[in-house]
Amino acid sequence: MSGPPSEATLLVLDAEPLPRLGTLTGRVRIEHADESTLAERLPSADVLLVWDFTSHAVRRAWPGEGPRPRWVHTASAGVDHLMCPELAASDTVVTNARGVFDQPIAEYVAALVLAMAKDLPRTWDLQRQREWRHRESQRVAGTRACVVGSGPIGRAIARTLKALGIRTALVGRTPRTGIHGPDDLDRLMARADWVVSAAPLTEATHGMFDARRFGMMQPSARFINVGRGQLVVEEALAEALSKRWIAGAALDVFEHEPLGPESPLWEVPGLIVSPHMSGDTVGWRDELGTQFLELFERWQAGRPLPNVVDKQRGYVPGH
């Protein structure tokens, strides 16, 4: 990839609220696009900022005539929403927002674990009904967790669960010190009290949590997905909960988002539904904007970029 031009053109795939790019004023030509105008504006852009990380517009617009941006940055950890064969085969550099969401998501997972172990959802339901019903809750210290996904988010989840006294096994794409490989997943899931999905979406992980895997979990176990919705066969999870193959589950991501009011998932017994918010703490958009500005300074100075995605694997290597 050749060096940046003297006055680069930055194209932003917009979402509200817009990113704060004030430090680039007067130094960079900033243009904006939405799903309807992205394709026509791609050829004139040197850099594309995918601020609307819920959109699949890049995947649809990238194939076509004319030059393409030499660098694409997405304000998200996952890149499956923008990858297409043409982008994967190009020399365009793709970076992601690795590092922004790690600890917030880990805290969210810990909150879900504690909420389910301490039966907090039922406590709130009983309070609304003005019903005093004493119960016993579960101690989390000494339980076992299997965290699937050994990237920064998965590692942060593992550290946080260990701090609660949970014996935690981490599963990644390849086995190495402190990380199990895929061949160990079934064995670890079968003995886990908590199975946490934090893996990237790839061809190998699509639908990996299916009826077979839910069937091998303990009846007292719970499942949590903060990775990508397509990692889970939602019908199989609903069946596992309805038949009490497992004790509970929490989904923060879904195959189709937003989850429509007609979805049967809203009423699946033992399922906690949250609207893809596990990484979104107060000020998270400002953090994403600051991260991009720091990356842009490096790119404009011709320095190597961090967070470079392996476009064939679909994530930043080195996990």
Distance CA 148, CA 228 (A): 12
Distance CA 281, CA 293 (A): 20
Q: Name the token pair of 203.
A: 């061809």
Q: Report the 10 Å Cβ neighbour count for 26.
A: 7
SS3 66: coil
SS3 121: helix
Q: Name the token pair of 206.
A: 């699509």
Order of strands, sheet of 271-273, starting from the edge strand that comes earlier in the sequence: 167-171, 144-148, 194-197, 222-225, 248-251, 271-273
| Residues that are catalytic | 228, 257, 276
Phi first, then psi, for residue 10 (nearest 5°) are -105, 120
Q: Which residue has the tokens 């031009």?
A: 5
Distance CA 45, CA 39 (A): 11
Q: Report the 10 Å Cβ neighbour count for 220.
A: 11
How distant is the alpha carbon of residue 269 from its chain centre? Answer: 25
Q: Which residue has the tokens 């199990």?
A: 180
First to last CA, the chain: 25
Strands (E), the chain: 9-13, 29-33, 47-50, 71-74, 93-95, 144-148, 167-171, 194-197, 222-225, 248-251, 271-273
DSSP character at residue 36: T
